[in-house]
């Protein structure tokens, strides 16, 4: 995945939002969560040499109540437990705890070995007001297929 691919997907997401006449607030939530998801895919797949393992899938589904953003990509087996624990931790936070954790990381100014500050999952939960759903499937001994789904209130 390259930055130009991310830009093209984001253009498509923006057109979808406009086509569905989503409010500007909802559109902003969708765009921000989508970019976080795509950046995660980029960071988790860039270490793979096998082109198949660099693949990803991003989709948006809707029903009468929610908009579902889903992203799928391969992840190195060594990273799975860390991702699971971060998502469990983020999902366990109250709204107030989420705000405090977000501010703490912003003031920390430290970056991970992947180049992020660790705000991605916090930001997705904060913007969606819903827990993140992660699924992992064994593929090979050194990698797993990872699906992250975020739901957003359709009228929100």
Q: Which token pair is 8?
A: 């093209």
Q: How far is CA 130 from CA 95, 125, 127, in A?
A: 10, 6, 8
In this predicted model, what pLDDT tens digit does every residue of 27-53 receive, in sequence order? 999 999 999 999 888 887 777 666 666
Tokens standing for residue 107: 């003031």
153: part of which helix (H) or strand (E)? strand 143-153
Cβ–Cβ under 8 Å, residues 152 and 66? yes
Here the tokens at position 150 are 């975020």
**Tens-digit pLDDT profile for residues 83-107:** 999 999 999 999 999 999 888 887 8
Choose among 77, 123, 130, 73: nearest CA to 103.
Answer: 123
Domain 3-153 has CATH 3.40.50: no
DSSP code string of 11-62:
HHHHHHHHHTT--HHHHHHHHHHHHHHHHHHHHHHTT--SGGGG-EEEEEEE
> Of the candidates 8, 10, 5, 17, which has an alpha carbon nearest to the alpha carbon of residue 67?
17
pTM beyond 0.75: the answer is yes
Residue pair 4/103 in contact (Cβ under 8 Å)? The answer is no
pLDDT in tens, 103-135: 888 787 655 555 454 688 999 999 999 999 999
Give me the pLDDT at residue 53, please: 64
């Amino acid at each position: 995945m390259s930055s130009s691919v991310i830009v093209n997907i984001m253009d498509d997401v923006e057109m979808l939002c406009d086509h569905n006449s989503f409010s500007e607030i909802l559109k902003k939530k969708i765009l921000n969560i989508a970019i976080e998801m795509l950046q995660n895919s980029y960071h988790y797949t860039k270490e793979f040499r096998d082109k198949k393992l660099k693949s990803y899938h991003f989709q948006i589904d809707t029903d009468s109540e929610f908009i579902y953003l889903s992203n799928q990509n391969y992840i190195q087996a060594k990273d799975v437990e860390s991702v699971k624990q971060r998502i469990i931790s983020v999902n366990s936070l109250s709204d107030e705890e989420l705000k405090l954790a977000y501010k703490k990381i912003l003031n920390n100014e430290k970056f991970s070995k992947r180049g992020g500050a660790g705000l991605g999952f916090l930001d997705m939960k904060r913007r969606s007001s819903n827990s993140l759903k992660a699924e992992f499937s064994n593929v090979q001994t050194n990698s797993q297929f990872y699906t992250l789904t975020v739901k957003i209130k359709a009228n929100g």
